[in-house]
Structure 1
């Protein structure tokens, strides 16, 4: 038995993130992300008030993006469960990313735009988790038919050097580049 298994006790909290991509039309995909934080034990607020186990965060973001350019066309957020009513004030702040392209530098732009008091760490976390999933959704949409003329832009911007397998000097990158010529 490993060290972590030996130390496991009562489960306190779970965070689940689910992201799904849907065809909207021939030009756009909808990506829906859901974040759910569950407190699994009785807990006390700062004031000392006792609370039963409950859902502390339940958030949903939907974004529509252009399949060919990965440009965000529209975005909406819902917060069915939050710890404070003031949390709802920030949902419209996501409108600032309409028109942005999911491309290198996107993560730093999101952190700069929504970091600290300008946003919500939970919505930002969900959004940043959704973006790689949006690229996967685009890939699956395009791969529904045999791919011809694999885009070198797609390879360069979204795949090369993103992980060990897609490293520029790795076998997969070489195979794809060879197939493109």
Structure 2
């Protein structure tokens, strides 16, 4: 169900965040994020001069290349448009993410490495949806591939994967809580609820 009908209003600002996940031919994964901020009115900017309606004040990109274990192998950050000439100079700091693993504590670690004057607020914010996109991209494909491998040639429907380690998604949200119904069905060996 969509949001309720609002009162009469005028659009002032639009932020768009787009994230995409790609499987690479070399076995790694590219997770890309793009963020734009656009005003519905013209305004002056000391760095760029007049900015017309629809011309982004922020236009920024980030690509994380990660492996199957969600470890960041490479980073590319780009600032195409910003309100200040100095903004693009901070993108090399995002190389600090190389070697970091996307898992519980990711957001806190990103803030430690790139918070405040060490990073760009908008690119740091973009890393949250990028991390979620990594899970949405990689986890289902790896699970599908494990099922195919386990049942290859058996002529049976895919068997449930038994996880020796807790699944990466366990306890990351309400649906994946260890004592919940989803965990009981998907990962019974990690279910902590009652009968």
| Partner residue, 1:97 | 97
Residues 89 and 145 from structure 1, CA distance in 2 versus in 1: closer, same or farther, beyond 3 angstroms? same
Give 1 or 2: higher helix fraction: 1
Query: Which of 161, 171, 178 is the equivalent residue of 2:181?
Result: 171
Residues 118 and 170 from structure 1, CA distance in 2 versus in 1: closer, same or farther, beyond 3 angstroms? same
- What's the offset of the Cα at 1:45? 5.1
- For residues 29 and 58 of structure 1, what CA distance do their matches in structure 2 show? 23
- For residues 186 and 63 of structure 2, what CA distance do their matches in structure 1 show? 32
Q: Can you list the C-alpha shifts for 1:12-60, whole angstroms capped at 9, x where unaligned?
A: 01111111111113531111111111111133558xx864322101111
Q: Does 1:159 align with 2:169?
A: yes
Q: Does 1:108 align with 2:120?
A: no
Residue aligned with 1:5, SS: coil
Q: Does 1:119 align with 2:131?
A: no
TM-score by length of 2: 0.79
| Partner residue, 1:78 | 78
- What's the offset of the Cα at 1:177? 2.6
Structure 2 unaligned spans of 5+: 151-160, 191-195
| Partner residue, 1:57 | 58
* Larger-gyration structure (1/2): 2
TM-score by length of 1: 0.85
Which protein, 1 or 2, shows the higher relative CO under an 8 Å CA cutoff with sep ≥ 6? 1
Residue aligned with 2:41, SS: coil
Q: Can you list the C-alpha shifts for 1:115-152, whole angstroms capped at 9, x where unaligned?
A: 11111100101112201111111123224446253434
- For residues 154 and 41 of structure 1, what CA distance do their matches in structure 2 show? 50
Residues 100 and 13 from structure 1, CA distance in 2 versus in 1: closer, same or farther, beyond 3 angstroms? same
Q: CA RMSD in A?
A: 2.5
Structure 1 unaligned spans of 5+: none
Residues 154 and 31 from structure 1, CA distance in 2 versus in 1: closer, same or farther, beyond 3 angstroms? farther
